[in-house]
Amino acid sequence: IKTKRRADYMPPAFTISDVKMDVVLHPTAARITSYLTVKRLGNHHEKLILDGEKLVLNSVKIDGKITQDYEQTDSSLSIPNVPNSFQLEVITTIDPENNKALEGLYLSSGVYCTQCEAEGFRRITYFLDRPDVLATYEVTLHGNKNKYPTLLANGNPIARGEGDNGSHWVTWQDPHPKPCYLFAMVAGDFDVLTDEYTTTSGRKVALELYVDKGKKARGPFALESLKRAMKWDEDTYGLEYDLDIYMIVAVDFFNMGAMENKGLNIFNSKFVLADQNSATDEDFFNVESVIAHEYFHNWTGNRVTCRDWFQLSLKEGLTVFRDQQFSADMTSPLSNRIKHVRVMREHQFAEDASAMSHPIRPDEVMEMNNFYTVTVYDKGAEVIRMLHTLLGKKKFRKGMDEYFRRHDGQAVTCDDFVAAMQSVTELDLSHFALWYSQSGTPLITVSHQYDETAKRMSVTLSQHTPKTADQSVKRPLFMPVAFDCIDSKGNHYQDDEQRVKNNMLLLNEPSVTLQFSDVTSALIPVVLGNFSAPAKVKNPLPSEDLLAIFRFARDAFNRWDALQQLYDWCIEQYALGKPEAVTASIWDGLKEVVEREAQNHELLGECLVIPSFETLCQSRSLVDVEQLRQARRAFCQDFAQELATPLLTVYKNIHTGDYEYTLEAVNARRCRNVVLNHLARLPQGQELVCKQFNSSDNMTDTMGALKAAQHGDKEQFEKLLASFEQQWREEPLVLDKWFALHATQERDDILSHITLLREHPQFSIGNPNRVRALIGSFAFYNTAGFHAIDGSGYKFVTDYLLMLDKTNPQVAARIVTPLTQWQNYAPVYQEKMKVQLGRLLNEKGLSRDLFEKVSKSLA
């Protein structure tokens, strides 16, 4: 298996400017005829080498004449002695029904659809399957009229007609040159929701949403979200949609969330279908944000695309940043920011600490699908956010305008993006650009000293990036560190030299020391407001200082974070066997927090969430899983007991009324459910849980009650689970919530329990949503079961992956992630995790996807 390197990039030897395709659908023998306009680039005599996988080749014609002069391998078709400019016709046959990898063209539950990013187009026909080859497409689809009344491809429909034996055909034309990874086609029998959107400049766009028959009522929210996204992109970036029609198709079998194919997005139905009965507030939020994300790709990704796959963050980091901005505008900045930080701390920091560590612009790749990571996406978005912080809103917009002015219609690099930004600012971005090439999580350490006699305070911030599996030498980064200094009464202080400007410190050296003169008491440094850089912070402060930050800091994120740090410290005391270190005054401080913020549902809801086990792991090393898990659990139990009275008051005082999806109502439900989750650990909570479950008129409160119930009486929990299944057994998408809840249970027989659930009529190894819900949830979030000390959890997941890898390597390679993060755990766990990774590595015929992750993690 070959490693591809970023440094080896070469422009293509040929290009393809126009593609005409004729597709005759058939479950096991679909016939693809492609007519390609090919041109040699530059002065050379190389042969034309096209990519192709799992294709049956029927014929090759050059300028209309059949030729046998070609060579075929498993992954390519080479044709020597071609003219400088010619028409190539290739006919291939493929097998969509048996395509269980869900890449290329596949047929699942009666729907044909495609997934071409990153390198799936080569499973449809021979092609230069690389993003720097841009072509216009005209595609004709033929299919049975009854079974597939809907035939879709990118662009606009330009002709349709009837054929023999009950078939029909439609021709689609996409005038915008695009890389083949944005190609899509769909055939099926759907319900359609239609709407219309008029852009600022007056262009009318038809909107069409295709969903499974009978699911129409769950579509409107997605369509409304789309219109909000279109409007927002016009208002915020001046970007309008550029075709007459925008289509979204929801399918049940999909490897990831959604795909931004030009004019024809294909979505996992999980991110389209939503109504109050079947979807939680979180589901609604996700629908809106994924719809927006894919829409925003039309400019950041499609109009300006990537030169090569190493540049993936060019489109993904930027588009995630844009969808985050959008969501913050549609809902609220604080809860959004906290959401992103949780992803960074739980998942991205863990990736950096593992053998899969890579920069947001990777240098080496075996299987591209393995690099759709939290690093490329979420850390990538954090890097863009820092640029936004450094340049300010106005200049950032100017830089974006310049980026589109320079590169519309091109396939470019991350350097091109930074250069466009550089052109609008005096700030030298050359040091900043290190964020693209250096992997790892920087640690900012804060130390401070107060000199009582001199009445001087000094605060030192130093940065250090620990070496990672992929890079041993690290340099200091350039980062904006939001900084504030307060005293215990809440007064704010400015440093003598005014190195902190507008609460922002630009850290570009290994360390910097700030001086504060004429201060009459020690000050409290408040660091990394709004999570201004993707870094870890070590700023050990006593609990009273953390509570003071919560009370007085200007930055809401800092306030939330101070409590997170306090919880983390408390749990550590429990782990050290000193729970009494969490004194009555700390509990009192926490009670006060609840009482004082009782009306602020958004902040309180977030502040009452105890850091997850995974987040706790990131501030520790060689974690003794069992010890930390027990400590966290014991702390949660005491938390509920100590705070019972104020929590109960909050719960009772939040009246959510009839279901509405509004910001206020979402925050109220969220706060109430977080509180219920604590109360459920107490005898007096059982009734509340039951009552909420039975009286709920929406999925948010139903799931809130169900999740809370797992902390209380086991029998009652089982009862509620059973009643949930009764109600939703015909709705696999809803049942996924139930599968996931089962999979994360702490119970001694968890493995046989999951084995039993695999036999559930709605479970299927062929459906990625089911597999992620049951097996993925276990591997990622069932701390007790996955990390069982006898290694049985690791073995269980590995056994499953060995099976899954045979059909769907992409999904298998995602679920292996927790195993590859063995470095974080104590040696007893490490050894057992590595045994299972070894089993995977020894497997004959292991996919490239799994091989890359497993071999790297054992290297």
Instruction: Give the whole-angstrom CA distance, residue 186 versus residue 24.
Output: 12
Residue 566 near residue 575, CB atoms below 8 Å: no
- The listed partner (Zn ion, ligand B3K, none) that binds 816, CB under 5 to 8 Å by sort, is none
The smaller minimum CB distance to ligand B3K, of residues 120 and 480, is found at 120
Residue 653 near residue 595, CB atoms below 8 Å: no
The smaller minimum CB distance to Zn ion, of residues 315 and 672, is found at 315
Determine the 3-state secondary structure of 569 from DSSP.
helix
Residue 116 near residue 104, CB atoms below 8 Å: yes
Q: Give least dist CB 258 to ligand B3K, A.
A: 6
Q: Give least dist CB 181 to ligand B3K, A.
A: 8
Name residue, tokens 């559930």.
760
- The listed partner (Zn ion, ligand B3K, none) that binds 708, CB under 5 to 8 Å by sort, is none
Residue 546 binds ligand B3K (CB under 6 A): no
The smaller minimum CB distance to ligand B3K, of residues 185 and 680, is found at 185
Instruction: Give the whole-angstrom CA distance, residue 49 versus residue 80.
Output: 9
Q: Give least dist CB 262 to ligand B3K, A.
A: 12
Determine the 3-state secondary structure of 1 from DSSP.
coil
Tokens of 405: 């002015």
Instruction: Give the whole-angstrom CA distance, residue 466 versus residue 443.
Output: 8
Count of residues touching Zn ion (by CB under 5 A): 2
Distances in Å between the Cα of 62 and the Cα atoms of 43, 617, 854 are 20, 60, 43
The smaller minimum CB distance to ligand B3K, of residues 297 and 787, is found at 297
Residue 294 binds ligand B3K (CB under 6 A): yes
Residue 420 near residue 395, CB atoms below 8 Å: no
Residue 259 binds ligand B3K (CB under 6 A): yes
Q: Which range binds ligand B3K by CB under 6 A, 251-259, 524-532, 665-673, 759-767?
A: 251-259
Q: Give least dist CB 290 to ligand B3K, A.
A: 8
Q: Give least dist CB 256 to ligand B3K, A.
A: 5
- The listed partner (Zn ion, ligand B3K, none) that binds 142, CB under 5 to 8 Å by sort, is none
Q: Give least dist CB 441 to ligand B3K, A.
A: 23
Residue 53 binds ligand B3K (CB under 6 A): no
Sign of CA dihedral 761, 764, 770, 775: positive
Residue 437 near residue 160, CB atoms below 8 Å: no
Identify the residue among 53, 316, 416, 470 touching ligand B3K (CB under 6 A). Answer: 316
- The listed partner (Zn ion, ligand B3K, none) that binds 778, CB under 5 to 8 Å by sort, is none
Give me the phi and psi of 802, to 5 degrees please: -60, -35
Least Cα distance to 212 among 230, 192, 239 occurs for: 192
The smaller minimum CB distance to ligand B3K, of residues 18 and 242, is found at 242
- The listed partner (ligand B3K, Zn ion, none) that binds 256, CB under 5 to 8 Å by sort, is ligand B3K
Select which of 294, 346, 351, 606 is catalytic. Answer: 294
Looking only at residues 300 through 319 of this chain, which bind Zn ion when binding is defined by CB under 5 A?
316, 319
The smaller minimum CB distance to Zn ion, of residues 316 and 367, is found at 316
Q: Which range binds ligand B3K by CB under 6 A, 228-236, 257-265, 356-364, 384-392?
A: 257-265
Q: Give least dist CB 669 to ligand B3K, A.
A: 28
Tokens of 77: 């078709």
The smaller minimum CB distance to ligand B3K, of residues 108 and 783, is found at 108
Identify the residue among 107, 118, 250, 541 touching ligand B3K (CB under 6 A). Answer: 118
Q: Which range binds ligand B3K by CB under 6 A, 70-78, 289-297, 577-585, 589-597?
A: 289-297
Least Cα distance to 304 among 154, 186, 404, 443 occurs for: 404
Looking only at residues 751 through 810 of this chain, which bind ligand B3K when binding is defined by CB under 6 A?
none
Q: Give least dist CB 47 to Zn ion, A.
A: 35
Residue 89 binds ligand B3K (CB under 6 A): no
Identify the residue among 30, 77, 239, 256 touching ligand B3K (CB under 6 A). Answer: 256
Count of residues touching ligand B3K (by CB under 6 A): 12
Name residue, tokens 């008491």.
521
Residue 849 binds ligand B3K (CB under 6 A): no
Residue 130 binds ligand B3K (CB under 6 A): no
Identify the residue among 268, 311, 354, 369 touching ligand B3K (CB under 6 A). Answer: 369
Residue 361 binds ligand B3K (CB under 6 A): no
Tokens of 511: 């360390």
Give me the phi and psi of 450, to 5 degrees please: -120, 125
Tokens of 691: 């009552």
Written as one string, the DSSP assignment of 18-81 is: EEEEEEE--SS-EEEEEEEEEEE-SS--PPEEEE--S-EEEEEEETTEE----EE-SSEEEE-S
The smaller minimum CB distance to ligand B3K, of residues 60 and 258, is found at 258
Identify the residue among 293, 322, 337, 770 touching ligand B3K (CB under 6 A). Answer: 293
Distances in Å between the Cα of 762 and the Cα atoms of 187, 226, 718 are 24, 31, 19
Tokens of 2: 């070959």
Instruction: Give the whole-angstrom CA distance, residue 599 versus residue 662.
Output: 17
Active site residue 580: no
Instruction: Give the whole-angstrom CA distance, residue 347 versus residue 341.
Output: 10
Distance of CA 778 to the CA centre of its chain: 19
Determine the 3-state secondary structure of 495 from DSSP.
coil
The smaller minimum CB distance to Zn ion, of residues 417 and 478, is found at 417
Q: Give least dist CB 324 to Zn ion, A.
A: 12
Instruction: Give the whole-angstrom CA distance, residue 56 versus residue 700.
Output: 49
Burial of 191 (0-12, 13-18, 19+ CB in 10 A): middle
Give me the phi and psi of 597, to 5 degrees please: -100, 15
The smaller minimum CB distance to Zn ion, of residues 117 and 484, is found at 117
Burial of 803 (0-12, 13-18, 19+ CB in 10 A): exposed
Identify the residue among 183, 299, 310, 372 touching ligand B3K (CB under 6 A). Answer: 372
Please identify every residue annotated as catalytic. Answer: 294
Q: Which residue ranges make up the site for ligand B3K (CB under 6 A)?
A: 117-118, 256, 258-260, 293-294, 297, 316, 369, 372
Q: Which residue ranges make up the site for Zn ion (CB under 5 A)?
A: 316, 319
